[in-house]
Amino acid sequence: MTDIVKKVNRGVPPQERTLTISGADVSTGDVFMVEESMGRAAKKVFVDAGDYIAMRFNVYHMVYPQRDGRDLMTTAHLPNLALGGRIKDSTTALVELAPDETFELDGTPVSDIEFQTVSGNFTIILT
């Protein structure tokens, strides 16, 4: 189980960066760190499975607690930004693709991809 980072050209504006992952880049149990690779979360994911593949797309959210009653009256309604925490959201669930199937995920910012099962060739394009 390895965290994999594949850097892209940072000279390209963030909204125009793309990244391609193939079966040679990862194996079962690996986590591909999309956010660290692209400098941002992927907005769109396209998967073309040549063989069976199972993966989980993870998204991370920042959560900020509300201030308690001891704060000044003027700031009590604001979240406490100093105590924010990052939580992992894997509700996109497990995606399993049979040979020669395709999958597209649009509108969900993907921060990393956990590969549950990898067998053979596949291509993932992140934009």
The secondary structure of the chain, three-state, reads CCEECCCCCCCCCHHHCCEEEECCCCCCCCEEEHHHHHCCCEEEEEEEECCCEEEEEEEEEEECCECCCCCCCCCCCCECHHHCEEEEECCCCEEEECCCCEEEEEEEEECEEEEEEECCCEEEEEC
Q: What is the pLDDT of residue 2?
A: 82
The whole-number average pLDDT for the span 107-117 is: 89
Convert the pLDDT of each residue in 27-47 to its tens digit.
899 999 998 888 888 889 999
Domain spans, the chain: 3-59+95-126
The whole-number average pLDDT for the span 76-87 is: 79
What CATH number belongs to 3-59+95-126?
Answer: 2.60.120
CB within 8 Å of 47: residues ≥ 6 apart: 53, 55, 95, 97, 102, 103, 104, 122, 123, 124
The whole-number average pLDDT for the span 14-36 is: 87
Does the pLDDT value for residue 64 go beyond 80? Answer: yes
Q: What is the pLDDT of residue 53?
A: 93
The whole-number average pLDDT for the span 66-85 is: 71
* Mean pLDDT over the full length of the chain: 85
pLDDT-derived band at 66 (thresholds 50, 70, 90) equals confident
Q: What is the pLDDT of residue 103?
A: 93
Q: What is the pLDDT of residue 82?
A: 80
The whole-number average pLDDT for the span 93-120 is: 90
Q: Mean pLDDT: which of 50-64, 67-81, 87-101 is highest?
A: 50-64
